[in-house]
Structure 1
């Protein structure tokens, strides 16, 4: 069984407060993009085997393995599987690449072993693995709240051109949360959602905001510079998630291509993409 595992971007992200359990409540608009990892699943006689083009994730400390363990525990038996992963999405980049891989693993095992869980049941199960899982299981254009588990479907934002720029290193989400200060002012999501209906980068200029940027930009001024340079090319730009990736939305493909040529000279992890629903993953 083959699957695409799409990346996501955050079209604004607000950190609303810290919970007693140590997690943070957030509010964010999540959107999948056409950059994806390629995964193949097949049943084997025993155990779990992961093969990847990135050696650092060929072990048990990754979300594919954790998703497999979660399904085995649910069925109270081993569900032998081999996973072959071609990793295209940068790691620890704010694009939920790992969560997407784990989400596809849940769906694949559910189908391969005819377990019969609904998407809603998979979403509930997945929360113990990671907060991005509920969204990554379903995709679309979504307003997420809580720790990311409360999802409100929005009018789709598909077909908008995106340039992805990653500075060739990752940032751990936990360290960003540990250093963030909760601000009193809230992001105006109603205005953003209303403007998204036009599917225009220009209409979103000055509206998108990520409350994690302040923490990340303080320690990584090069990421702030990427955002500034994308805007100089005419993009509506924002850091995705907790970084390190910055994206630019473009209405003009000529401007996008100019930006791509500029950034590709500096960063190998630079990709042209488009916003998608993600319904064709598996």
Structure 2
């Protein structure tokens, strides 16, 4: 038995860092939005064990969130592990687009589908929250508010459709590095359309300012750092068509936002949707 899933990226429509916590995490409030940039996962029941096939350069085995998600599922259900997971990456890493978290969530969803839904959604959410901060969000997708360290999810009405131009520079930014650079400052109480981590990312990589200026010249309504970076996204009412002149090593993605219903529709028809 086999299932193919599309695993979407996310952007942050706003991110407010509230405080550093005693457990080393940060208390945040953020609004998350799925977008139509996908990795693909193929899960096949068969040989004993958890067999992960991930692209070179990514964490392998127990260092990969897909493997951790599978271990969590089998541990919760007491089923004997017998799964092959093939991961095809399109979402860039160290970009703030949540690719690894999305992959983990979709491994949980795919395994649950393959085994006849032994876990209720609440149990999947419990597992997801212990895997990583953004993982619970990707079980549903769409538009949602995340609080705590990002694992407490409240669904929001779907965003009016928007197009995004996402630019990923040739360098990444590690989440821990950006949070270490973050300094608390007085900011708006409104979480929307502002990212408290942007100042830290710009301090670490001042050249990101040039991307924000480029998107402004292109007519973007707004540009924001994606999560903790390093990608920058511009928001548009209509699909941007102007070609941007980007330096070597920079990658560009022009994608629409995705509703929760669209995310769910893509779970079991990944082969035709990618």
TM-score (norm. length: structure 1): 0.87
| More moved, 225-234 vs 48-57 | 48-57
Partner of 1:257: 241
Aligned equivalent of 1:240? 226
CA distance in 2, matches of 1:25, 1:220: 24
How far off its partner does 1:272 sit?
0.8
Counterpart secondary structure, 1:38: strand
Task: Give the structure 2 partner of residue 196 of structure 1.
Answer: none
Contact 2:168 2:252 in 1 (8 A): yes
Answer yes or no: is the 8 Å Cα contact 2:147–2:153 preserved in 1: yes
2:61 & 2:199 partners in 1: Cα distance? 33
- For residue 124 of structure 2, give the secondary structure of its aligned residue in structure 1: helix
**Quick check: 2:77–2:118 contact (8 Å CA) kept in 1?**
no
- Secondary structure of 1:221 counterpart: coil
Which of 200, 212, 223 is the aligned partner of 1:227?
212
| Between 170-179 and 88-97, the greater mean CA deviation after superposition | 170-179
* 1:22-58 alpha-carbon deviations (Å, 9 max, x no partner): 2111111100000001111001221121223444334
SS at match of 1:262: coil
- Aligned equivalents of 1:280 and 1:158: distance in 2? 19
**Cα distance in structure 1, aligned partners of 2:93 and 2:80:** 28
User: 1:160–1:251: 8 Å Cα contact kept in structure 2?
Assistant: yes
1:276 aligns with 2:264: no
Q: Distance in 2 between matches of 1:89 and 1:179?
A: 25
Alpha-carbon displacement from aligned partner over 1:124-165 (angstroms, at most 9, x marks no partner): 121111000111111111121111122222221152111110
Q: CA RMSD in A?
A: 1.7
**Separation in 2, partners of 1:252, 1:112:** 38
| Residues 225-268 of structure 1 deviation map (CA, whole Å, 9 limit, x = unaligned) | 21121112111110010001100111243xx221x4323x5444
Displacement of 1:185 after TM fit?
2.6
Q: Equivalences for 1:1-282 in 2 at 5 Å?
A: 1-189=3-191, 192=192, 208-235=193-220, 236-253=222-239, 256-258=240-242, 260-263=243-246, 266-277=248-259, 278-282=263-267
Note if contact 2:162-2:238 (Cα within 8 Å) is conserved in structure 1. no
CA 158–34 in structure 1, closer or farther in 2 if over 3 Å, else same: farther
Per-residue CA deviation, residues 204-245 of structure 1 (Å, 9 max, x unaligned), is: xxxx21110111111101222211211121111100100011
The 2-side partners of 1:144 and 1:173 are apart by 17
Match of 2:272 in 1: none
The count of residues paired between Structure 1 and Structure 2 equals 261
Q: Is the 8 A contact 2:132 2:151 kept in 1?
A: no
The answer to whether the 8 A contact 2:129-2:151 is kept is yes
Where is the helix percentage greater, Structure 1 or Structure 2? 1
1:276 shift after superposition? 0.4
Unaligned runs of 5+ in 2: 268-274
C-alpha deviations, 1:84-126, integer Å up to 9, x for none? 1110000121000000000000111112123521222211121
User: TM-score w.r.t. structure 2 length?
Assistant: 0.89
Aligned-partner SS, 1:116:
coil
